[in-house]
Structure 1
Amino acid sequence: MPEPHEDRRPLAERIAAEIRKAIMSGDWEPGRRVPTNEELRTQYETSNVTIQRALQILKDESFLKGKTGVGVFVREDRAQTISPAHYFAPSEPGQPYRWLSEATKRQQRSKYRMLEVGEVVPPVEVARALRLEGGGTAMFRSRIGFLDDLPAELVHSYYPIELARGTRLADRRLIPGGSPALLAELGYPTRSQEDAVAARPATTEEYEALEIPRDVPVLEVFRVVYSNNEKPIEVTLVVKPAHRFKMGYRIETP
């Protein structure tokens, strides 16, 4: 029989993990005052120093906020659920990209900032998804999205070069209505998409761009978009800070 897997993390990290889960699930409501150190010390049967370390971890990760002379409180904002299905269809003519319009519905300020555009040899998994021959290039578009002036997602998108060259996909400017609208205009309407979601530590690029606190992981969505005849027309990697977002999916049964 294999040995049972034991949590050997320091106790402060284990306590922080329990409190973090309570905050993410909503059991500890936004703005709630955290129990006193003495109450937590009694609950977890540990020292005051360990409790202080656990709370400092969560302060560093922006889950908790200390108010001098008052106490420690749960952050005011809940983890936000993002539903990819809301952005699936192209925007209506003259309307902004759905990521932006959906933010407006939630009464959030939103914007994108372009980081890089150009022809590149994509990563192996992207090349495989786009069905590129060895050494084939793709059009690369990188941008960062902000919600209420906070970095919310880092987006790397790749397009077949024969489809993108000479179009707005090769332009450094933002695309009115977003890429789904432009692709539809080019004769490649979106018919389906596949998402693979992973959680992992942030790279340096992601850590800096998304202002990741401490060791908070990121959520990565690897998305392949298909047009007519199952032709792959876009591969996008969306990376979001896991302490602020959840991914939401609704599946209809036949």
Structure 2
Amino acid sequence: AHAFGLKTGETAVVRGRVIYADETPVELADTYYPREIAEGTPLAEPRKIKGGAVTLLAELGHITDRIIEDVTARPASESEQQQLQLAAHEPVVVIERLSLDESGRPVQADVMVAPARLRRLRYEMKVS
């Protein structure tokens, strides 16, 4: 709600998924879209999107120009332990990603939770 500047009572469209690798759950991913962008499109339907959501957003005129990510680590919740088949107190990495179009409007917000042991984050920065 905060990312999209929603007022009390306003809602967004969310797509929740469990991502698997070789039949093992490796990530929980919730993706949010502003209702006025997603409503009436495959973004608001509970199925895979042919070509992917980023391609569909671009076809709808919402091309991602900038991404902001916040990365944190914490112990998994009980629900995350169950869904990701984790040991008690096993840490997870949480990536919160906000995708903005060329005008700076947020068009997609993601919250991804994965076992820390399966994630490696690498950033490269040029310093002039």
Taking structure 2 as the reference length, what is the TM-score of the superposition?
0.94
Partner amino acid, structure 2, of 1:197: V
Q: For residues 150 and 247 of structure 1, what CA distance do their matches in structure 2 show?
A: 21
Higher helix content, 1 or 2: 1
Partner amino acid, structure 2, of 1:185: E
Check whether the contact 2:66–2:102 (CA below 8 A) recurs between aligned residues: no
The question of 1:153 aligning with 2:27 is answered yes
What is the RMSD of the two structures over their aligned residues, measured on CA atoms?
1.2
Q: For residues 21 and 121 of structure 2, what CA distance do their matches in structure 1 show?
A: 16
Q: For residues 146 and 248 of structure 1, what CA distance do their matches in structure 2 show?
A: 22
Q: For residues 112 and 51 of structure 2, what CA distance do their matches in structure 1 show?
A: 18
Check whether the contact 2:29–2:112 (CA below 8 A) recurs between aligned residues: yes
SS in 2 for 1:243: helix
By how many angstroms is 1:170 displaced?
A: 0.9
Q: Identity rate of aligned residues, in percent?
A: 37
Aligned residue pairs, count: 128
Higher strand content, 1 or 2: 2
The question of 1:197 aligning with 2:71 is answered yes
Match in the other structure for 1:230: 104
By how many angstroms is 1:179 displaced?
A: 1.1
SS in 1 for 2:8: coil
Check whether the contact 2:81–2:88 (CA below 8 A) recurs between aligned residues: no
Gaps of 5+ in 2: none
How far does the alpha carbon of each residue in 1:177-214 deviate from its partner, in whole angstroms, 9 at most, with x for none?
22111100000011011000010111222111111112
SS in 1 for 2:53: helix
Match in the other structure for 1:11: none
Q: For residues 142 and 252 of structure 1, what CA distance do their matches in structure 2 show?
A: 35
Q: For residues 244 and 146 of structure 1, what CA distance do their matches in structure 2 show?
A: 12
Partner amino acid, structure 2, of 1:235: A
Match in the other structure for 2:42: 168
Match in the other structure for 1:139: 13
Partner amino acid, structure 2, of 1:237: V
Q: Which has the larger radius of gyration?
A: 1
By how many angstroms is 1:131 displaced?
A: 1.2
Q: Which runs of 4+ in 1 moved over 6 A?
A: none
Higher RCO (C-alpha under 8 Å, 6+ residues apart): 2
Q: For residues 112 and 28 of structure 2, what CA distance do their matches in structure 1 show?
A: 6
By how many angstroms is 1:251 displaced?
A: 2.2
Match in the other structure for 2:4: 130
Q: For residues 163 and 202 of structure 1, what CA distance do their matches in structure 2 show?
A: 32
Match in the other structure for 2:82: 208
Taking structure 1 as the reference length, what is the TM-score of the superposition?
0.49
